[in-house]
Structure 1
Amino acid sequence: MTLSIIGQAAGLFAVTNIDDIVVLALFFAQGAGHRHAARAVALGQYLGFAAILAVAVAAAFGATFLPEQIIPYLGLLPLALGIKAAVQTWRHRRDKEDLDPEAKQNGPRVLEVASVTFANGGDNIGVYVPVFATAGVGGMSVYVVVFLALLALWIAAGRYFATRPVIARALSRWGHILLPVVLIGIGVLILVEGGAFGL
Structure 2
Amino acid sequence: MSPGVIGSAAGLFAVTNIDDIVVLALFFAQGAGHRGTVRNVAAGQYLGFAAILVAAVAAAFGATFLPERAIPFLGLLPLALGVKAAVRTWRHRDDPDESAGARSGAPRILEVATVTFANGGDNVGVYVPVFTTAGPTGMTAYVIVFLILVAAWVAAGRYFATRPLIARALSRWGHILLPLVLIAIGLLILINP
Establish whether TM, by shorter chain, passes 0.5: yes
Place the TM-score, normalised by the shorter chain, in its bin: over 0.9
Letter in 2 for 1:147: F
* Counterpart Cα distance in 1 of 2:25 and 2:90: 22
Aligned to 2:19: 19
Equivalences for residues 140-179 of structure 1 within 5 A:
140-179=139-178
Aligned to 1:91: 91
Q: 3-state SS of the aligned residue for 1:162?
A: helix
Letter in 1 for 2:91: R
* Counterpart Cα distance in 1 of 2:68 and 2:105: 35
Deviations 1:132-158 (A, max 9, x none): 000000000000000000110000000
If the length of structure 2 is used for normalisation, what is the TM-score?
A: 0.97
2:46 matches 1:39? no
If the length of structure 1 is used for normalisation, what is the TM-score?
A: 0.95
Segments of 4+ moved more than 6 angstroms = none
Q: 3-state SS of the aligned residue for 2:192?
A: helix
Aligned to 2:71: 71
Equivalences for residues 5-16 of structure 1 within 5 A:
5-16=5-16
Letter in 1 for 2:121: G
* Counterpart Cα distance in 2 of 1:92 and 1:2: 53
Deviations 1:83-131 (A, max 9, x none): 0000000001111121377x62222100000000000000000000000
Relative to structure 1, the CA distance from residue 189 to residue 100 in structure 2 (aligned partners, 3 Å threshold; closer, same or farther) is closer
* Counterpart Cα distance in 1 of 2:100 and 2:139: 47
Letter in 2 for 1:126: G
Aligned to 2:112: 113
Overall identity of the aligned pairs, in %: 75
For structure 2, the residue ranges without an aligned partner over 5 or more in a row are none
Aligned to 1:197: none
Cα contact 1:55–1:66 (8 A) shared by 2: no
For structure 1, the residue ranges without an aligned partner over 5 or more in a row are 195-199
Cα contact 2:100–2:172 (8 A) shared by 1: no
Q: 3-state SS of the aligned residue for 1:19?
A: helix
Alignment RMSD (CA, Å): 1.1
* Counterpart Cα distance in 1 of 2:168 and 2:121: 32
Deviation for aligned residue 1:8:
0.4
Deviations 1:61-86 (A, max 9, x none): 00111221111000000000000000
Aligned to 1:82: 82
Cα contact 2:82–2:178 (8 A) shared by 1: yes
Q: 3-state SS of the aligned residue for 1:35?
A: coil
